[in-house]
Structure formats: C-alpha cells, structure tokens
Structure 1
Amino acid sequence: MSDVRITIDKYLYEVLKERAQQSFTVVQMRDSYLTKLPTAISPDDARKAIYRQLLRLVKAGVLTKHPKSNPQQSTYRVVNNFVRMDFKFTIPSHQRVYNDKNTTKTKRRSPPSRFEEQLRQYQVDLLSSIAESEEYKRLYTVNPELKALLEAQYHQARDKSSKLLGQIKAIKTVISHLSK
C-alpha cells in the first residue's frame, strides 16, 4: 500500500468500483456518475468534472488510459490493485458550492433552488430520452425488419421528450418570475 493518500470524489469512487473490470469512456463514466449524485448537475458540468478527476487519477496510477484518434473515444481502465489503494474521500466541488450557497440563502430564495434542482433533473431526463429515441430510430433504420417492433418505442421516447421539454419550459418560467 502506498504512503500517499489519493483524494477522490466519493461518488466517482463508487462508480469506479462498479466498473473495476471494464473499460469505459468519459461519457459512460459521466452517465453512471449522474445516477449516484443526490442532487442533479448539468451533464456538461459533470463531464468536465469527471474528465479532470480521471486525468488526475491516471497521473496517480489509479487508472490507465487507452488513447484513441478521437479523444472522446479514449477508454480508461481501473488498475488491478485499486481496492488496496489508500483513498481520501471528498464531497464533489459542485456540491460544496451548492451547499455553501444554500446556507447563505434566505428563506425567500429557497424555492428557486428547488426549482433549479428539478430543472436540472428534467434536463438530464430529456437528454436520456432524446438519446433513446435516436437509438431506436438508428436501430430500425439499420435493421428494417425490426421497424414494426421498435417504432412504437421510438414514438414513446419522442413523446416523453416533448413532455419533458414542456416541463423544462414551465420550470424556467417559474424560476424567471421568482428571481425578479
């Protein structure tokens, strides 16, 4: 075991433990990471935070990176002695900032933060729903024999995306009115 303690986001550690025997991309890690967080953040912020941490963990010898010509397709893998390493767990920086803001807010400003949380969750759900509908469409375009089977799921995912878009618009309207 090393004398140096490696600082790691506790949610990222959980995801890395689950994927210890698999290769993964930054986007795959981000998607798993978002499901672990108790409060929602934007997928773009999560991806950036994950990428910074993964680079730091590669330098520390916790991960190996397998570069590809397209950097977004580069894969990472947890080293074999991962479970024996000495980690110091931290709260993610985006949560520390969020918690600091919450403690200084007055009661009057609390509702917008609840709405902003809900907005972020709807945005994550929307991205997931859009990706699902695109995948169904791709699958039945590539495999025309599956069109009858997959077309209904495609339409359901599209309808869900439309509903989420409406919810996002409504929440943004409420946030706009409350912040005036």
Structure 2
Amino acid sequence: MMPKKPIKVTTSIYSIFITDDLNNFTVSEMRSAYMDITCETDPVLSRKMVYRQILRLQKLGMLEKIDSENVKEHRYNKTNVFHQTGLTTEEIKNKQTSPMLVKSPKKITRSLLDERLKQCEVDLIASIAESEEYMALYKSLPELKEHLESNYLQSREHSSKLLGQIKAIKSVISYQRKQ
C-alpha cells in the first residue's frame, strides 16, 4: 500500500530521516539519534517512540526490515516508496507543498531548535515541581528522610542539567538570529 501524500512525522523524526539521512539502521541507532536531538533522557521512552514510528513506516511500505539472529540487530532500510512519498512535519497544516524537501536547512534547524527548547522548558518545569514535592513530602514525612533526600537531590541535578541545555539552545538560537 503506497501512501499518496507525504507522511506527517515530528520535526525530530523528520530530521533523523531527511536532514541526517539515516538509513540501514537498528532501533538502538535511531533511538540514539532521537535522544541526541531531543531533550529526552529516558532511553525506554525514546525507544518506544522511535519503534512506533519505525513500525508505522514499515506498515506503509516505506521501511524494509532486514532480520538478524539477534533481535537487537534487525536493520531497517528506506524503500523506493519512502523516496517517492517523502515525509513532512506535523507543524505544516493545510498547505499545498511537496514532500518537505523544499524547506531550507536554516528553517529546519530553527524549527528543531524551537521544538527542543520547548521540550526542555516543559521538562524543567516538571523537574522543579518534582523537587518541590519532595521537599513538601520531606517536611510532612520525616521518617522517609533518606529516600526523599536522595530523590530530591537527583531531581535538582536533573533540573540543573536541563537549565544548562536550555542556555545552550538559546545561545545557538541567538547566534542564528545574527546570521
């Protein structure tokens, strides 16, 4: 079954397949690429997200699975259907465009940076709320001091890491605006 219109995917998935031109890959390789361009730090969530996209594109005939004895070594290749159909990002709605190959690399990069910044900011808010909740629980449940303190410190460390990522992304966005 060959799709007629370009298939909508997230900007991150689009970037992996089109900008980075990923082909002949394993699920683990795609997961690593996905984690590199997003702020997702959970490898399990990343693998699930990536695997759903792989299965979806495989079902549409856009990816071909090459079996291996070891399940983790199954490889996936783009098919002719992939190249004929193309991908588009979810942000484009109700526009008559050809498969996103016309979008300039600068716009794609900016879109990726904006998406990544937004995700990091959401993750930071969640991490701060988590830290605050551990503090509240610590005050009301002092008998769980060790456990809560450990989780609180991990949450604070995660918040600091996210803050660093946000600063780095904003720095790159600022640099791009000057170009």
TM-score after normalising by structure 1: 0.48
